[in-house]
Amino acid sequence: MDNSGRMWFLADMSKSFRPWDVDQAWLFPPSVRDLVPPDHLAHLIRDTVRDSLDLSEILAAYDEERGYPPYHPAMMTALLLYGYSQGVYSSRRLAKACQERVDFMAVTAMQTPDFRTISDFRKRHHEALANLFGQVLGLCQRAGLVRLGHVALDGTKIKANASRHKAMSYGRMKVEVPRLAAEVKRWFKEADKVDRSEDKQHGPTRRGDEMPSWVANKQERLAKMREAMAAMESEAREGKPTDGTRGGRAGGKSEREPGTPPDRAQRNFTDPESRIMLSKEGFIQAYNPQLAVDSEHQIIVARDVTTSAADVGQLIPMVTQIETNTGHLPEELSADAGYCSEENLGELRRRRIKGYIAIGRLKHGAKAPRAHRGKPAGPLVLDMWAKLKRGGYRSRYRLRKQIVEPAIGQIKQARSFRQFLLRGVAKVRSEWSLVCTAHNLLKWAAATTA
């Protein structure tokens, strides 16, 4: 009797099954094109990168003939774009997928770059990778997927690669810096005393000037605080907004000296350019990515990232970017109340764009607002209020939820992009461009292969 535990497997059965022999030697298909079906997205993205995208900006960085040949930049680009289209963003997860998933093998031709190679490639070429957004948008335009009849604009808070618990307010820094400096000074004296005592006990075998790790850590934190305070004071002198500032009370005088940040202004030690923002999850350390989406096929026609939690300053730059990216202005544009201001409405009118921008929640029977954003409501704000009220549920403003919010949902929920991997606004902006490029690639693939 076989005691190996496989009697049930070897016994005669009335039903025949297909052979399942895990020890059977076999060969891979003769071509990586046979790893997945011919109509698979992996083939489309790989061939699009090879045949339709201009990668000269990336290739120009490889001007050194010496050294071991690197992985082909086109393969690495295709790997990143395919990974982002599948919701795989981490360099470690991408490297693992290259070893375990046949769809990734079809993209890389079974090459297996390690996670550090993938991470370094993304960081080294982040600007060039961001510029691929325009090329993919051009593919969508040539396929007739962009009409600019109606464009919806929105922003969404996405976590930075930093913890909000690693941030500190300017007021607390003013207290902590002298306290920590005194503590480090006291510990230096204590360390010197310990060294002299050990020299007497064990002999002068040590130099006597080594810095204990617990002192070094405090010194490093003190240096970071001083650096953060200097940066915040510099921003205040230049008149730049600092995290957490809203200015003094209306009609009142600020108690702080001119050119100094308020005590509530905060700075993060891990990613100083990120900001604490209010999201549906509460306060998070985040950036505020922007996207403008065309109504025809939910193609993203403009994208950006800002460190400001407020959206009002992003409408005009995004409209300008739409024209730069596509060569045309949209006929209509909708956005939520965060983008409403007299200046923004005036700019839309000047550019002859029909705007549908909320000024706040429209309650049944409510009268025209007297104030908007702490100021008397201007004529354009009042005109917009009347325009949306007349339209009611039939207003074109309703298209906003059907256009831009599904795109955000596909990115954050379907493809699970909820936190940036890179740090610093420049690299985060490039990473957001990659996310938007992958989104457009998927829309283009769905429309052209239907």
- For residue 369, the 8-state DSSP code is P
Return the bridge partners of 267, or none.
168
Structure-model confidence comparison of residues 92 and 254, the more confident one: 92
pLDDT of 55 over the 50 cut: yes
**Angle, vertex CA 88, rays to CA 82 and CA 91, nearest 5:** 100
Is the four-CA dihedral 440, 444, 447, 449 of positive or negative sign? negative
Amino acid in the structure at residue 238: E
Confidence of residue 389 (pLDDT cuts 50, 70, 90): confident
Instruction: Mean pLDDT check: name the lowest of 119-133, 244-258, 327-341, 390-404.
Output: 244-258
Per residue in 109-163, pLDDT tens?
999 999 999 999 999 999 999 999 999 999 999 999 999 999 999 999 999 998 8
pLDDT at 68: 74
pLDDT at 164: 73
pTM of the full structure: 0.80
Angstrom distance (rounded) from CA 79 to CA 89: 10
User: For the CA atoms of 192, 194, 196, 202, what is the dihedral angle to 10 degrees?
Assistant: -140
| φ, ψ of residue 25 in degrees (nearest 5) | -75, 140
pLDDT at 249: 39
> Residue 52's closest CA among 112, 110, 134, 121?
134
**Angle, vertex CA 404, rays to CA 421 and CA 340, nearest 5:** 100
Q: Are 140 and 441 in contact (CB under 8 A)?
A: no
**For the ranges 157-171, 244-258, 275-289, the one whose mean pLDDT is highest:** 275-289
Per residue in 205-216, pLDDT tens?
545 455 555 555
Angstrom distance (rounded) from CA 405 to CA 399: 10
Q: Which tokens hold the place of 66?
A: 């010496």
Per residue in 278-289, pLDDT tens?
888 888 999 999
Instruction: Mean pLDDT check: name the lowest of 101-105, 200-204, 244-248, 303-307.
Output: 244-248
pLDDT at 341: 94
